């Protein structure tokens, strides 16, 4: 009985520690005087632990700014899987122009808790302008759980 009580206490403290990791409040874009870089850095980098275990739909809802483009991240170990995504607040051509100048603005990197099969995403990617964010892409990815999230500083 004592072992059971100790086990329950350990589990309860572990659960509360996980929830305690996200102590910073979400702040709207208005709180940053519409400075999207500060908004994205604070909410999706400084508060990154708040999104671990949540879904892509949660991230997109909190972003509140239209995602314009994306870049899928390949898995390091298997070529038939995608492990995450970069979300951009600019059209892809603008992202490339900024990267050429070594500027990485408002680029959110997300790693999913389980990689996704390329066969599921590739047809959707080929149907549209390869990097344009669409409602169909959102619907495919909205339930993907987040393993890690942050902003891109360099690639």
Provide the pLDDT for residue 92.
Answer: 66
Beta-ladder partners of 148 = 111
Beta-ladder partners of 81 = 117
Q: How far is the C-alpha of 124 from the C-alpha of 120, rounded, in Å? A: 8
- Are the C-beta atoms of residues 128 and 137 closer than 8 Å to each other? yes
What separation in angstroms does the CA of 15 have from each of 9, 20, 46, 65? 10, 9, 21, 32
- Are the C-beta atoms of residues 124 and 136 closer than 8 Å to each other? yes
Per-residue pLDDT of the chain (155 residues; tens, 9 = 90+): 444 444 444 454 444 444 446 899 999 989 999 888 889 899 999 999 999 999 999 999 998 888 888 888 887 777 888 999 999 887 665 656 656 566 556 789 999 999 998 888 888 777 777 788 889 889 999 999 999 999 887 65
């Amino acid at each position: 009985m004592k072992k059971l009580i100790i086990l329950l206490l350990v589990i309860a403290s572990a659960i509360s520690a996980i929830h305690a990791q996200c102590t910073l409040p979400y702040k709207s874009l208005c709180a940053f005087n519409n400075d999207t870089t500060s908004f994205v850095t604070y909410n999706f980098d400084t508060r990154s632990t708040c999104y671990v275990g949540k879904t892509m739909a949660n991230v997109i809802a909190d972003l509140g700014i239209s995602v314009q483009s994306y870049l899928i991240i390949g898995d390091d170990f298997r070529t038939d899987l995608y492990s995450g995504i970069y979300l951009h607040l600019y059209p892809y051509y603008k992202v490339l122009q900024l990267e050429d100048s070594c500027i990485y603005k408002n680029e959110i990197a997300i790693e999913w808790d389980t990689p996704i099969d390329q066969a599921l995403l590739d047809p959707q990617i080929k149907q549209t302008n390869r990097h344009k964010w669409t409602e169909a892409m959102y619907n495919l990815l909205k339930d993907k759980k987040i393993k890690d999230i942050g902003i891109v500083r360099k690639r």
